[in-house]
Structure 1
Amino acid sequence: METKEVIIIGGGLSGIMTARTLMKKGVEDILIVEKSRSVGGRLATRRIGDGKADHGAQFFTVRSRELQEEVEKWLEGGWVKRWFGSPYPRYTSTDGMNSLAKQLAGTIPVKLNTRVSSIRDGRDGPLEVELETGEKILTRHCVVTAPVPQALQLLTGTSRLRAPSISFAPCFVGMFTFDGASRIPSPGHLDEELPDGVERVVDHYKKGISSTVTVSVYMTGDWSKRNERLEDDDILGEIQKVAENYLERGSAVTGAQLKRWKYAEAETVVRTPFVEMGEEGRIILCGDAFLRENDGAGRTRFESAYLSGISAGKRLAEKRKGI
């Protein structure tokens, strides 16, 4: 049976930053377990024909000195660029947001396409992480970065369970290819004066990550909730009507895809960057809904996920030293 000192469930930004922080502290026996075929979570980019589209986070802002110092390095390395916005610049990856996640993950050990079915907290022994394949991995510490509703399903029966209650709004994203230009003005992002139910519209050709015109249309949480029982084709058809508003004369929609984000944004947040659970607090929950006490934005975002992962990693490093 495989044994690891730390298992991190979820390869999104919080999981990556937890791992990076631990490795800087000298903890090498780490494994990220990720259900998808790539790390990144909502730092998600999809190839569509000859082009590509971000369909999760489109950009991020910076309020903390901690993240700003890192962003300056990313800018210097060509990983990200300033896209638009003042007084808070909107930064985005130069090659799609998933590429930034992969660069941050670096050489961190990751087990992809792998779902966890349960986490058992033995009172006198190691934690037992069971995969859907039936394989079990033993570990001293476990960090769960999945959205809290999913985390609770994994932790059923865990002793001293004190998980916060957080609800999430869904988001439906339509991705469309055009055979000509769009009417979305440069730099390729709209979030004002949009039709009812639409949160934002993005042209990835003008954003600079796609060689062909691809457009993402994000629907609001309320719209997505009202329509979540519809079939995918029906949802996509409604979103395509929005996309067609941005066709230049002579252009047409040539392809369409849908992404359902079930846990897109937390409707409530936790004013602590992580929560310790289980026997001796060996299970840590963190993620973008776990905000540091001094967080001025008060909402889930790239930066809250980034800082939550760092805080969880630092706390685990302290626990190893008995602090």
Structure 2
Amino acid sequence: MSKKEVIIIGGGLSGIMAANTLKDNGITDIIVIEKSRSVGGRLATRRIQDGKADHGAQFFTVRSTELQRDVENWLQAGWIKKWFGNPYPRYTSVNGMNALAKNLAESLPIKLNTKVSSIRDGRDGPLEVELDNGEKILGEHIIVTAPVPQALTLLSEIEATEMNTITFAPCFVGLFTFEKESIIPVPGHKDEQLPPGVERVVDHYKKGISSTVTVSVYMTGAWSKERFDLEGDTILGEIKKVAELHLGDENQIVDSQLKRWKYAEAEEVVRSPYVEIGKDQRVIVCGDAFLRGDDEAGRTRFESAYLSGISAGERVAVKLKG
């Protein structure tokens, strides 16, 4: 049975930023546990034949001084670029959004393909994280960055009633490869004058991350919630009708895939960058649904996940140093 000062559950943006913040504060006895084969969470990019497509977050905007400072560094490093937008530029990763997550997590101790089954409060001893394979990891502090419904399942033995009302809307994304160029205007993003139920359409060839014409069609939370229990082929067929509107004459779809995001966006946010629970409040829950009090946007997004992770990391660093 191994033991760490800090265990971070979830390798999305919040988990990555919490871990980096702890390292910046000289705390290195940490582990990030991620159930998927890659870090990033909704900073997700999928290879489709010879092309690629972002199918989670497409871009991010900047309102905080912390993110602005990092953005300048990321631009200088060649990780990101300004894509479109005025007065708030939309930034995106030059190689797909998952590449940015991997760059940010490059020096972190991460355990991939590892699923947590439960978190137990050690009372007078260390906290305990049990994995699906039966392995247990002890920790002095735990930061949970999974979406709140998943976090509550893991924390079933720890009182966390202040988060019981947080629900998430799902999102379906159709991914399509076209034979020829789409008629989506440059720079490859459209979120106006779209059919009912469609949130945005993105052409990744025009976005500059794909060598082939790949298009993501995002459906709204309400549309996705109504159809969440339908068969994938049925849902993809409906989304495909939207994609065909952006083909152009004599163009054809040569490949199509469906991505289901069960927890895409919080329907109600927490007006605090994290919540502390458990005995001695050694468990912190954070993520994109946890907003700083001065957050003007008021919704889940890249920046809220980024800031929440930093705040959680800073809080644990203070506790460990105190």
Give TM-score scaled by structure 1 length: 0.98
Amino acid at match of 1:321: K
Structure 1: 4+ residue segments shifted above 4 A = 159-162
Pairs within 5 Å for 1:106-117: 106-117=106-117
Quote the RMSD (CA, aligned, Å): 0.9
Aligned residue number for residue 82 of structure 2 = 82
Aligned residue number for residue 184 of structure 1 = 184
Amino acid at match of 2:98: N
Q: 2: distance between equivalents of 1:183 and 1:9? A: 42
Amino acid at match of 2:230: L
Q: Deviation of residue 265 (structure 1)? A: 0.2
Give the conservation status (yes or no) of the 8 Å contact 1:163–1:277: no
Q: Deviation of residue 165 (structure 1)? A: 2.5
Q: 2: distance between equivalents of 1:319 and 1:159? A: 21
Q: 2: distance between equivalents of 1:14 and 1:68? A: 17
Q: How big is each residue's C-alpha offset from its partner over 1:250-294, in whole Å with a ceiling of 9 and x where there is no partner?
A: 210000110000000000101100000101011000000000010
- Secondary structure at the aligned position of 1:218 is classed as strand
Aligned residue number for residue 308 of structure 2 = 308
Q: 2: distance between equivalents of 1:160 and 1:249? A: 55
Give the conservation status (yes or no) of the 8 Å contact 2:286–2:309: yes
Amino acid at match of 1:30: I
Q: How big is each residue's C-alpha offset from its partner over 1:207-261, in whole Å with a ceiling of 9 and x where there is no partner?
A: 0000000000000000001111110011011101100110021210000110000
Amino acid at match of 1:316: V
Aligned residue number for residue 281 of structure 1 = 281
Q: 1: distance between equivalents of 2:160 and 2:98? A: 36
Q: Deviation of residue 161 (structure 1)? A: 5.7
1:204 aligns with 2:204: yes
Pairs within 5 Å for 1:16-35: 16-35=16-35
Aligned residue number for residue 140 of structure 1 = 140
Amino acid at match of 1:243: A
1:264 aligns with 2:260: no
Give the conservation status (yes or no) of the 8 Å contact 1:148–1:165: no
Aligned residue number for residue 120 of structure 2 = 120
Give the conservation status (yes or no) of the 8 Å contact 2:152–2:160: no
Amino acid at match of 2:213: V
Give the conservation status (yes or no) of the 8 Å contact 2:9–2:34: yes
Q: 2: distance between equivalents of 1:164 and 1:231? A: 29
Give the conservation status (yes or no) of the 8 Å contact 1:161–1:277: no
Aligned residue number for residue 154 of structure 1 = 154
Q: 2: distance between equivalents of 1:321 and 1:65? A: 25
Q: 2: distance between equivalents of 1:122 and 1:268? A: 31
Q: Deviation of residue 164 (structure 1)? A: 5.1
Give the conservation status (yes or no) of the 8 Å contact 1:286–1:309: yes
Aligned residue number for residue 166 of structure 1 = 166
Q: 1: distance between equivalents of 2:159 and 2:126? A: 14
- Secondary structure at the aligned position of 1:250 is classed as coil
Q: 1: distance between equivalents of 2:266 and 2:160? A: 24
Cα gap change, 1:278/1:194 in structure 2, threshold over 3 Å: closer, same or farther?
same
Aligned residue pairs: how many? 322
Give the conservation status (yes or no) of the 8 Å contact 1:121–1:159: no
Q: 2: distance between equivalents of 1:207 and 1:167? A: 32
Give the conservation status (yes or no) of the 8 Å contact 2:170–2:261: yes
Q: 2: distance between equivalents of 1:310 and 1:165? A: 24
Q: 1: distance between equivalents of 2:61 and 2:251? A: 33
Q: Deviation of residue 160 (structure 1)? A: 6.7
Q: 2: distance between equivalents of 1:271 and 1:250? A: 50
- Unmatched runs of 5 consecutive residues or more in structure 2: none
- Secondary structure at the aligned position of 1:7 is classed as strand
1:65 aligns with 2:65: yes
Q: 1: distance between equivalents of 2:28 and 2:190? A: 43
Q: 2: distance between equivalents of 1:85 and 1:253? A: 29
Cα gap change, 1:316/1:136 in structure 2, threshold over 3 Å: closer, same or farther?
same
Q: Alignment identity in percent? A: 71
- Secondary structure at the aligned position of 1:38 is classed as coil
1:248 aligns with 2:267: no
Amino acid at match of 2:273: P
Q: 1: distance between equivalents of 2:213 and 2:303? A: 29
Aligned residue number for residue 222 of structure 1 = 222
Q: Deviation of residue 180 (structure 1)? A: 0.7
Give TM-score scaled by structure 2 length: 0.99
- Secondary structure at the aligned position of 2:69 is classed as helix
- Unmatched runs of 5 consecutive residues or more in structure 1: none
Give the conservation status (yes or no) of the 8 Å contact 1:175–1:215: yes
1:51 aligns with 2:51: yes
